[in-house]
Amino acid sequence: MTLTRLAFKSLLSRGFTVGLTVFAIALSVALFLGVEKLRTGARASFADTISSTDLIMGARSGSVQLLLYSVFRIGNATNNVSWESYEDLTGRPEVDWAVPISLGDSHRQFRVMGTTRAYFDRYKYRGGRSLEFAAGGEFADLFDAVVGADVADTLGYAVGDPIVVAHGLASFTEHDDLPFRISGVLEKTGTPVDRTVLVGLGAIEAIHVDWQGGGRKSGPATPAEMLREMDLEPAAITAAMIGVKSRLQVFKLQRAINEYPEEPLLAILPGLALQELWEIVGVAETALTGVSAMVVVTALLGMAAMILSGLNERRREMAILRAVGAGPMTIASLLMTEAMAMAAAGAVLGIALLFGGLLLLRPWLDAAYGLYLPVTGLTPRDLGVLAIVVAAAAAVSLVPAARAYRMSLADGMMIKF
């Protein structure tokens, strides 16, 4: 009887205990590889928050800060960009299109962003996907608003509902004299758009006509009908998304914006800024990978403990094997073969659990969190991890194998039954 066959029969004879150990290893392997899939999926979704935009322009600050407040609605701008500078720079021959962005107000802890209707056509995510409406459509009237999916779900909004914009981000003062009407609700995107209330750029100016220095002017409010007839060109904006006619002109335009003499401005490439941001948050990614690796180590140590604790019950088995001619190295090799077989079975089962879980959870993760996890084959890195698991199983089995090696035939024969 070959060593492999003998190990297989030995494992079958202890099916329940071995099965639990294999399942523990399978769960740990599925967790480790699942964390890797989530990590790469999150990184891809993170990078796909904005695509097809060549430059983002704002007041001079840091590239990550500009990206955070213009794309992720986190933090505030250090300054604004004057409308004259915006028109001057976006009128350059390199520019194909530009979409202005105005931030500063809020609605029940959600950011309000003023922009133009071109935003719905030019904003792309996940490799070029466009914004789509779950209900309604773009704003047509001055006081129309479009809300993201999370805003609608959290606050229970539907098309036609009125909303009131608050002045500032943490202000109890509202523009209640000029309520908006929801004209559309966007589909879930998994981007900050889901948590944004979008209004026209002119609407931002309109609700602040009667405001000065952060407070409302005294006297009667300007009627909405009069505001619709006014020239509501903004004095300044927060940032702008820019597309160029040729990718070869991106750096030329970026240099022109960064060196603009009229005011200090900054232009960033979203992809590079996203890479910088990911490097900042990469510590959490490393910690999560480390925790999942420790789970695998724990499962392997549990397997070694199971083999070690079972040696006492298998002393007669070891003695019989020694009696029929098996040497100490054969006994040790048997235990190592069993450990490697359990690790290999756990790895295969773990892969099956991983891909089964991905197929089941992928639609929910995409719909609920905008986290797209493509189901692809095992990468060379994944195969390397599985090989390391099997090799580690052989390594941790050395302790029980060494103990079995020292067992003598006389020690086995002295067991009383």
State residue 343's pLDDT score: 85
Whole-number pLDDT of residue 256: 95
Q: Give just the sign of the alpha carbon dihedral 180, 186, 188, 194.
A: negative
What is the C-alpha separation between 394 and 399, in angstroms, rounded?
10
Decide if 308 contacts 399 (C-beta within 8 A). Answer: yes
Smallest Cα–Cα separation from 266: which of 18, 47, 59? Answer: 59
Alpha-carbon dihedral angle through residues 225, 229, 235, 236, given to the nearest 10 degrees: 70
- Tell me: the pLDDT tens digits for 216-254? 777 777 888 888 888 889 999 999 999 999 989 999 999
* Cα–Cα distance measured from residue 288 to residue 273, given in angstroms and rounded to the nearest whole number: 23
Please name the residue ranges forming H helices in 14-118: 15-47, 63-70, 83-90
What one-letter code names the amino acid at 325? Answer: G
DSSP letters spanning 192-220? GGGGEEEEEHHHHHHHTTTEETTEEPSSP
* Residue 12, Cβ density class (10 Å: 0-12 exposed, 13-18 middle, ≥19 buried): exposed
Q: Are strands 144-147 and 180-186 parallel, antiparallel or unpaired?
A: parallel
* pTM of the complete model: 0.71
CB atoms inside a 10 Å sphere around CB 158: 11
Phi-psi region of 180 (alpha: psi -120 to 50; beta: other; left: phi over 0): beta
Burial 379-411 (b: 16+ CB within 10 A, else e): eeebeebbeebbebbbebbeebbebbbebeeee
Low-confidence ranges of the chain (pLDDT < 50): 408-410, 412-413, 415-417
Say how far apart CA 148 and CA 66 lie, in whole Å.
22
pLDDT in tens, 126-144: 878 899 999 999 998 999 9
State the burial class of residue 156 (Cβ atoms within 10 Å of its Cβ: 0-12, 13-18, 19+).
Answer: exposed
- Quick one: tokens of 102? 């105005």
Cα distance between the two ends of the chain: 27
